[in-house]
Structure 1
Amino acid sequence: MEEKRNGLRVILFPLPLQGCINPMIQLANILHSRGFSITVIHTRFNAPKASSHPLFTFLQISDGLSETQTKDDVMSLLAQININAESPFRDCLRELLLESKESERVSCLIDDCGWLFTQTVAESLNLPRLVLCTFKATFFNAYPSLPLIRTKGYLPVSDSEAEDSVPEFPPLQKRDLSKVFGEFGEKLDPFLHAVVETTMSSSGLIFMSCEELEKDSLTIANEIFEVPIFAIGPFHSYFSASSSSLFTQDETCIPWLGNQKDKSVIYVSLGSVVNITETEFLEIACGLSNSKQSFLWVVRPGSVLGAKWIEPLSEGLVRSLEEKGKIVKWAPQQEVLAHRAIGGFLTHNGWNSTLESICEGVPMICLPGGWDQMLNSRFVSDIWKVGIHLEGRIEQKEIEKAVRMLMEENEGEKIRERMKVLKDEVEKSVKLGGSSFQSIETLANHILLL
């Protein structure tokens, strides 16, 4: 049955990355369920599948990206698309506002914090803009101070100081910083400054998080950005992300899991962006094989540098892996993590994946690739204590040891018990009267009054 409409339309504009599109489409579903009509403006590159969301209007704009540029690293891609998309976005938004009917007024724009021009465009058209942050609030709070941390002299880090904490950014360790900043260094500073400035000028900041996970950080976010804060996550607890996947999902993994014992399978996925070397790929393969544990392994085509898919695996290693596991190109992750057969998740610790794992009570083995993943993994292993951190050691012995510990040993059982407690806490947030549930109502009322 069609929900009662409130006469207002919300414009959404996701960044064209899987980890940004999923939350934006989930947010669209949440707002639609509260009576708002939805229009999604999106780029040609990584366009969401409109046919999967028949209740929304989708409008594509030019992004000016060449085939070569679509294969750039994330920061280079974001820099270029922020230049190319501004004029087409402005034209599209202006036309939408001109067409806006009295019976259905455009209330606001909600876009990803990684768009740097949208605040200026929205202001020029007298349209309120809200910001969606797809990172942990704790990480986003560090945006103003990351340039300062970079100049503190923590890098390069000596072996004796590797495990020292970063006083300005707990619980990060100094060895984490090189992967937070990656190869970009001071090139990040203008981007971070622009994100902070445009967020502070917005009409509100939406986090896919909840008070149960980071109450103090949400309070701090309010003090830093001085705009209304809405922590309405985990989004996927309300609406699945599977229908907004940019990749074709291999559904055969679900019946395969159905033939496995409860909590006997380790799920392995490094997400939609992380790439690894052929050597690292082989180390993971050998570690999984030697662990003698059942596994479901997502190997995204092109994720192994220099290979199309799993060609680096020898025939003998493939046979060994097939005895206990299944390798797929992509999986319906929410469905997989919710399956009774899954007992652990070897993950890159993107915030989407981390939240999904917590919500299904699945303990983690942390292998972060960079950026906010470094912080997420520290919370998983050091603060919440619901996972094992590989500390960047992509070595078969370390992987075998971590998998066995999580799946077979007493320490793994303790981790599982702590995860159950955390899962129960987060579950409360999305139920009637919970912090996220109430925050959604507050957000809906905020948009009504814009």
Structure 2
Amino acid sequence: MEVIKGKKAHVLAVPFPAQGHVKPLMKLSRQIAKRGIKVTFVNIESIHEKIVASAKMAGEEEEEDNIILTSIPDGRNPEDDPNDTFKLLESLRITMPGLLTGLIERINSSNDQEKISCVIADISIGWVLETAREVGAEPVVFSPPSAAALAVIFQIPKLLEEGNLDSYGTVKNGEVISLSENIPAWRKNELSWSFPSNLKTQKIFFECSQRIEKTTNQYTWLLSNTCYELEPSACNLIPNLLPIGPLLENQNPNSSFNSCNFHPQDTSCLSWLNSKPAGSVIYVSFGSLAVFSQQQLDELAFGLELSGRAFLWVVRPDLANGNGSRAVFPEGYLDRVGEVGKIVEWALQEKVLSHSSIACFLSHCGWNSTTEGLSRGVPFLCWPYFSDQHHNQNYICDKWEIGLRIDPDENGIRTRHEIKEKIDGVFFDSKLKKNALKLKEMCEKSVGEGGSSYKNFEKFIDHLRK
């Protein structure tokens, strides 16, 4: 008698098209795939092409067990500005539902035993949840930022009703918004949608946040890249939240799976780090979006030089504006810093942060970088750029006490002397490192077998298999 095998779970993962959103969802997808569940990971074509090209240049494998990378068009016209995020978002809202429906139908018709049973969508593209329902798949939300960043978004209706925010999302009464004494308050211009230099842009960000809040009744699972022990008060404010983080890369140091980076990684920095003493190197990286003026880039360069300490600095070609395609360093700078400074266009960040020579992380405080640093027990020097990064800085410096702020002057410039002073401060303050190691241990316990994030993830996997 022929044995008919039962149907298998098959997850479709759909990230928001930005580096800080694609990577954590890929980390989650890998964890799901490791449990024997197939994942189809869908990027828009322009992002997919970047990832494939970067993987090829790095000699990474494009295929891995139970994960399929695929893409859909982004719906924009050829004449549209490729850097206009708002135009892209509007285009995706119009075209993505139909394109995803077509993709899912093709997948389902190709294998009756592996139909899409679950769609995990980034919280920023909540309209995908309705598409999931229409094709008979379970809608699940994935939230890449901190639980606190999400908690304040869910409080928007109440904050508007009580008159704390105006229609642009600007704080009206007083200078802070506080949700709990255990969550750092948001000062004016520190909310994730704040964009004080351009209120029109802020209005768009605020309206996007309001749409996120309206998705709360459209799902039963909200997976979050945090752990309960890190943000208990914030986690308690969010309905249906399932903290499953911090999500980290494959711990196998020899792994060559596609890292989903938009930029080719420079592996030479690892051998360079091997030549440095333990706890001696400043790691400097501002993520994939931050942009500096040439004046600010110069001040940072001089500040690192003045510190007299070894540094590994990630400088994307587009880090400084107004200089065409590449950042320009002060005259003679590269010759002067010599072997003391290593400059690369992109780094294997988690491997760098795990290296014994790293003393501190000078960071923009994006949530991915924040969790990667604290999971390695590395103190921070904080230099937020925009969005939730300002509140992450408050967590780092005020709540967890594992870092120092690098403050701007009255002209908004972080000077070379301020940079040097804070570098000295993080090297001399042993309490920062001590606290960082405690957080590392906390995160390890949470994601380790029997920990809260581990149990939450296993609960979700068990649900997928039913």
TM > 0.5: yes
Contact 2:320 2:327 in 1 (8 A): no
- Provide Cα deviations, 1:126-151, integer angstroms capped at 9, x if missing partner: 22110100010111111133473432
1:94 aligns with 2:94: no
Unaligned residue ranges in structure 2 (runs of 5+): 1-5, 56-60
Q: Which one is further off, 172-181 or 434-443?
A: 172-181
Counterpart position of 1:127: 137
- Select which of 19, 43, 62 maps to 2:73: 62
1:105 Cα offset (Å): 3.9
Amino acid at match of 1:338: S
1:272 aligns with 2:288: yes
Determine the C-alpha separation between the residues in 2 that align with 1:191 and 1:176: 17
- Provide Cα deviations, 1:52-97, integer angstroms capped at 9, x if missing partner: 3332222221112356756425444333333343322221123223
Counterpart position of 2:122: 112
1:217 Cα offset (Å): 1.6
Determine the C-alpha separation between the residues in 2 that align with 1:320 and 1:422: 37
Amino acid at match of 2:190: L
Structure 1 vs Structure 2 CA RMSD? 2.7
1:230 aligns with 2:230: no
Runs of 4+ in 1 over 6 A off after TM superposition: none
1:380 Cα offset (Å): 0.3
Contact 1:15 1:112 in 2 (8 A): yes
Partner SS state of residue 318, structure 1: helix
Counterpart position of 2:457: 440
Equivalences for residues 211-222 of structure 1 within 5 A? 211-222=228-239
1:8 Cα offset (Å): 1.4
1:84–1:154 distance in 2 versus 1, CA, 3 Å: closer
Amino acid at match of 2:90: A
Counterpart position of 2:94: 83
Q: Which one is further off, 74-83 or 361-370?
A: 74-83
- Provide Cα deviations, 1:360-383, integer angstroms capped at 9, x if missing partner: 111000111111111111100010
Partner SS state of residue 438, structure 1: helix
1:324 Cα offset (Å): 1.9
Query: Larger % of helix: which?
Result: 1
Determine the C-alpha separation between the residues in 2 that align with 1:17 and 1:248: 16
Counterpart position of 2:438: 421
Counterpart position of 1:174: 187
1:218–1:258 distance in 2 versus 1, CA, 3 Å: same
- Select which of 350, 363, 371 maps to 1:355: 371
Partner SS state of residue 12, structure 2: strand
Equivalences for residues 37-56 of structure 1 within 5 A? 37-47=38-48, 48-49=51-52, 51-55=61-65, 56=67
Q: Which one is further off, 195-204 or 140-149?
A: 140-149
Partner SS state of residue 109, structure 1: strand
Determine the C-alpha separation between the residues in 2 that align with 1:261 and 1:239: 23
1:395 aligns with 2:415: yes
1:150 aligns with 2:165: yes
Equivalences for residues 197-212 of structure 1 within 5 A? 197-212=214-229
Percent identity of the aligned residues? 26
TM-score in terms of structure 1 length: 0.88
Contact 1:29 1:239 in 2 (8 A): no
Contact 2:265 2:348 in 1 (8 A): yes
Unaligned residue ranges in structure 1 (runs of 5+): 223-227
Contact 1:275 1:305 in 2 (8 A): yes
Determine the C-alpha separation between the residues in 1 that align with 2:136 and 2:8: 19
